[in-house]
Amino acid sequence: MTNSSGVTSILLSAFHGLEDLKPMYFCIFLLLYITIVVESMVLIGVICTEKTLHEPMYFLVCNLAANGLYGSTALLPALLSHMFSHSYEVSLPCCQTQIYAIHTYAIAEFTMLAAMSYDRFVAICYPLQYHTIMSLTKVYKLITFTWLYPMVIFFITFIETVKLRFCGKTINKLYCVNYSLIKLSCSDISAFNIAGLVTVVLFAAPQLIMMVYSYAHILRICSSSSRESKRKALTTCMPHLLAVINYSIGCFFEILQSRLKIAHLPFKAQMFLSLYFLIFPPILNPVIYGMSIQAIRAPLFKMFRGKRRQVTSK
């Protein structure tokens, strides 16, 4: 979208700091993207084809993997293409599209993790009513909400960014983000700074409340349970807790890197912090759930053993 200021493209100046080892970075990012795609597709494929995994928890895991694929695809193909470029410019519409995709991924990830905490709450606190409460109809509605909520809620906010006039065109990052684009505005952005922080709280608060509520009740139930029950509860919650911690660390890094001045950090450290939430949750979540949950791990091993036998027999 071209605005009245005449700015039609955005320069991603952070790529200049990678010019000394571009072939190496290209190979690293390509390997990361291939790993994310393969891991996510294998996990989604196993859950979709294995009838024993057609349960609410695994449907949510499947959607978490799909969202990770969505978020990494919003970043890595564009990043890889810039490795072959010398201008490091991206058109304003492409920049805005990437912003929309990356931010909706981020909100959807947190929303899905909140939905998964509710699922664990029901499974542990109301085990006998689990399939009644988490019926397939309710799960489908929950999954639909986790996808539509970020798309609609961020669009309402982002439409104000699209209306801005821009007097600058340089973003010191490897990809486009909303706050960096707002800082290029010709207008005073004080109101945007306040609105941005309020929006972050509003985007995160409902999901955070759901997670705290769910785990507070889980801890209450576990405190009066047997040692074996506590062990089972820990086993079933651990993958989700690891996913939440991993994603929260990534978001904290990005907020720290975007909102605060951390110029004292080395350039490559700043780039690592800004990429963490877009690469490491998508690459680690399939491993966390695939290796930690026996119901998923068994079909995975079975599938790979079957393929190995086919290769050996040939």
The pLDDT assigned to 27 comes to 94
The residue assigned the tokens 């791990």 is 297
164 neighbors 182 (Cβ within 8 angstroms): yes
The pLDDT assigned to 2 comes to 45
248 neighbors 154 (Cβ within 8 angstroms): no
Q: How far apart are CA 179 and CA 162, in angstroms?
A: 12
The pLDDT assigned to 207 comes to 92
Tell me what percent of the chain is helix, strand and coil, each rounded to the nearest 5: 80, 5, 15
The residue assigned the tokens 């571009």 is 22
Go through the domains of the chain in sequence order and give each one's CATH number.
9-313 (1.20.1070.10)
Helix (H, G, I), strand (E, B) or coil at 6: coil
Instruction: To the nearest 10°, report the CA torsion of 233, 239, 241, 243.
Output: -170
The CA distances from residue 48 to 33, 60, 257, in Å, are 22, 12, 38
Q: How far apart are CA 139 and CA 249, in angstroms?
A: 28
The pLDDT assigned to 228 comes to 81
Per-residue pLDDT of the chain (314 residues; tens, 9 = 90+): 445 456 789 999 888 888 888 889 999 999 999 999 999 999 999 999 888 888 999 999 999 999 999 999 999 999 999 888 878 899 999 999 999 999 999 999 999 999 999 999 999 999 999 999 999 899 999 999 999 999 988 888 888 888 888 888 899 889 998 888 888 888 777 777 777 777 777 778 899 999 999 999 999 888 887 888 888 888 889 999 999 999 998 888 887 776 666 667 777 788 888 899 999 999 999 999 887 777 787 777 776 666 555 544 55
282 neighbors 69 (Cβ within 8 angstroms): yes
The pLDDT assigned to 4 comes to 46
The pLDDT assigned to 153 comes to 86
Q: What distance, in Å, lies between the first and last C-alpha atoms of the chain?
A: 55
Which residues are bridge partners to 170 per DSSP? 11
What tokens does 69 get?
A: 């694929």
The pLDDT assigned to 311 comes to 46
The pLDDT assigned to 231 comes to 83
The residue assigned the tokens 């609609």 is 152
Pairing state between β 89-91 and 9-12: antiparallel
The pLDDT assigned to 246 comes to 92
The pLDDT assigned to 263 comes to 60
The pLDDT assigned to 273 comes to 83
Q: How far apart are CA 74 and CA 231, in angstroms?
A: 39
In this structure, which amino acid lies at residue 22? K
Q: At what angle do helices 92-125 and 136-162 cross, to 10 degrees?
A: 150
Q: How far apart are CA 58 and CA 49, in angstroms?
A: 12
29 Cβ contact list (under 8 Å, min separation 6): 76, 79, 80, 83
Within 10 angstroms of residue 191's Cβ, the number of other Cβ atoms is: 10
Residues in the chain, how many? Answer: 314
